[in-house]
Amino acid sequence: MRKALPVLVVLAAILGIWWLAVAPMNIRIALDGAERSGAAVVPEGARERQEVSVWALMARNPDLVPLSYAQERPRLPTPGQVATEFWDTTGAMALDGRAMSRRSLLFHAWITLQSTFWGFLLGTSLGIAGAIGIVYSRTLNLSLMPWAIISQTIPIVALAPMIIVLASQLGIEERGVPKAIISAYLCFFPVLVGMVSGLRSPAAAQLDLLRTYSATPSQGFWKLRLPASVPYLFASLKVGIAAALVGTIVGELPTGAIRGLGARILIGDQFGTPLAIWAALFMAAILAGVLVTFLDLAQRVTLRRMGLAEAAR
Amino acid sequence: MTGDMPTPAGSMGAPVIAAEGLNLTFQTADGPVHALSDVSLAIAGGEFVSFIGPSGCGKTTFLRCIAALEQPTGGTLSVNGMTPDAARRARAYGYVFQAAGLYPWRTIGRNVALPLEIMGFPKDEQDSRVARVLEMVELTGFEKKFPWQLSGGMQQRASIARALAFDADILLMDEPFGALDEIVRDRLNEELLSLWARTGKTVCFVTHSIPEAVYLSTKIVVMSPRPGRITDVIDSPLPKERPLDIRDTPEFLALAHRVREGLRAGHAYE
């Protein structure tokens, strides 16, 4: 409870600011709509109102301000509208037995989750393998690391369409594959950097100790470097899974895809349904939260089993 | 690969560790550093030898040369009649560092078993050896504890047990008690002496502390920096039985005085 309180306070503040922002954001379209349906609006005419600030419009039409909170296609929906849309496309549909219908956010979240999972798996494997290479090979240390850093300076939105085009050129029909690759592309870097630090974390004396036992390099890896890197691994996995999710959603944007949260956001934009965009955004955020929480749990269990939970405290 | 320990060379009269004109120069950005200059020393089997001197006198470097962790740039060095490299492969020595360096993810028992695992001892022999050396350092009953559950002194005892686990007959100790407080240190010094008396191992012990060196050693090697060299080798006249209050006897104080003079003489070189 003591932990939850600050979180709830911040959440309440965000919702409050959001709710207050709805009126100025929507007042113009609210007044336009009211005028069309015959209400008296000051000043008259949409063009005239362009010259007047939103604050003045609100002050001069106080009776019409509540309309800002009831727009069908608002510039900024209210928290309540988003919550309703979210429920209508998730829980309500699930209760109807249509959880996996194409109109259901759960269906799109499931599509995104699959690609995220494969991208995470691929990116994590590449990151760990790369880190081992960098730590054990001087050549790779000098050659791979700069490329890993450069790879992250290329905007993923620029790269994503190329990967998708390339994949279809190679005859890969399954749209999940390029999505997973884009996801892995974002995910491998934090894992690589974290694991390099982790594998290098043992002190010189610990490495010397192994030398006095004439330990082989592979014994040094399995008995010292790898266990020492586990706390670092989990820290990077948490960053990595969030990056993998972002990568998947970006990968769903330019494809003309019709499935996945990214596609849902793009379609919502094209068809002017902001509520759908917002609901998809929230679904993505919830998904990220669940994934990170899951890894956090795995971290706690693992570190406790290794006896590291208390040592790290 | 269990019972064949290296033969104690001391019984033959030949030194266990013999250095002759040993030199080690590190090339650094600021030019060469003479870590060891013309160091000659013979250590017989079963001796307890302390190396004492200010920072930079090469005492740790010399220990690391014996352990083949550093390569001398000149002179000869033999351990059990072999090169340091060969001696290491023959498991001639156990090394104790200043930091206990226990793996936090292993219990005390598993930490002590680490060298045994690496050297390929069978599982049941690992267990019996762990139990035996933990008893030697009075840590019986702590096998299942993690290092963070133990005090600094107990952790260092566990690290000594780890060095003893594979029955090397040389124990190399690099300021093992340097980070501990005076009271714990006294206690561990006493325990180390009785351990040495029981096992008959050859001990090379690096320290900053004059009382510690005098109390423990049969031979005290006084060293001096820039270049790192031996300025005095003192054979202790103290008896092998040493209660802690031996440190108030005139013999002890005279010996401590001679060590202090030796350290001062080394400094006068600059």
ipTM of the complex in this document:
0.85
Angle at Cα B94 formed by Cα B130 and Cα B37, nearest 5°?
170
* Predicted pLDDT of residue B2: 42
A105-311 CATH: 1.10.3720.10
Paired with A302 in beta bridges are: none
The token pair at B110 is: 């598993």
CB contact under 8 A, A307 and B104: yes
Please tell me the distance from the alpha carbon of residue A286 to that of residue A280, in angstroms, as a whole number. Answer: 10
**By C-alpha distance, which of B206, B215, B136, B201 is closest to B177?**
B206
Q: How many residues does chain A have?
A: 313
> How many beta-carbon contacts under 8 Å exist across A and B?
59
Q: In chain A, which residues fall in CATH 1.10.3720.10? A: 105-311
pLDDT band at residue B52 using 50, 70 and 90 as cut-offs: very high
* Predicted pLDDT of residue B172: 94
Q: How far is CA B128 from the centre of its chain?
A: 25
CB contact under 8 A, A214 and B89: yes
Please tell me the distance from the alpha carbon of residue A158 to that of residue A177, in angstroms, as a whole number. Answer: 18
pLDDT band at residue A168 using 50, 70 and 90 as cut-offs: confident
Report, as an integer, the average pLDDT of A71-92. Answer: 86
pLDDT band at residue A295 using 50, 70 and 90 as cut-offs: very high
pLDDT band at residue B3 using 50, 70 and 90 as cut-offs: very low
* Predicted pLDDT of residue B147: 92
pLDDT band at residue B267 using 50, 70 and 90 as cut-offs: low
pLDDT band at residue B7 using 50, 70 and 90 as cut-offs: very low
Where do we find the tokens 């727009």? Answer: A71
Report, as an integer, the average pLDDT of A155-164. Answer: 84
Question: Which chain A residues are closer than 8 Å to B103 by Cβ?
Answer: 206, 223-224, 227-228
Report, as an integer, the average pLDDT of B191-219. Answer: 91
* Predicted pLDDT of residue A256: 65
CB contact under 8 A, A307 and B99: no
B151 has pLDDT over 70:
yes
Distances (CA, A) of A120 to A188, A232, A247, A302: 8, 17, 10, 19
Distance from A222 to chain B by nearest Cα, in Å?
Answer: 11
Most confident option among A159-163, A270-274, B18-22: B18-22
pLDDT band at residue B121 using 50, 70 and 90 as cut-offs: very high
Alpha carbons within 13 angstroms on the beta-carbon side of residue B63 total 29
Residue B127, classified by CB atoms within 10 Å of its CB into exposed (0-12), middle (13-18) or buried (19+), is middle
* Predicted pLDDT of residue A146: 86
- Among A201, A206, A207, A214, the strongest candidate for a mutation testing the B interface, having the largest count of B CBs within 10 A, is A214
Distance from A189 to chain B by nearest Cα, in Å?
Answer: 27
| Ordered DSSP codes for B138-152 | T-TT-TTS-GGGS-H
Name every residue whose Cβ is closer than 8 Å to that of residue A36 and which is 6 or more positions away in sequence.
none
Name every residue whose Cβ is closer than 8 Å to that of residue A37 and which is 6 or more positions away in sequence.
none
The token pair at B245 is: 């209050």
Paired with B52 in beta bridges are: B207, B222
* Predicted pLDDT of residue B67: 92
pLDDT band at residue B31 using 50, 70 and 90 as cut-offs: confident
A86 has pLDDT over 80:
yes
**By C-alpha distance, which of B250, B196, B198 is closest to B218?**
B196
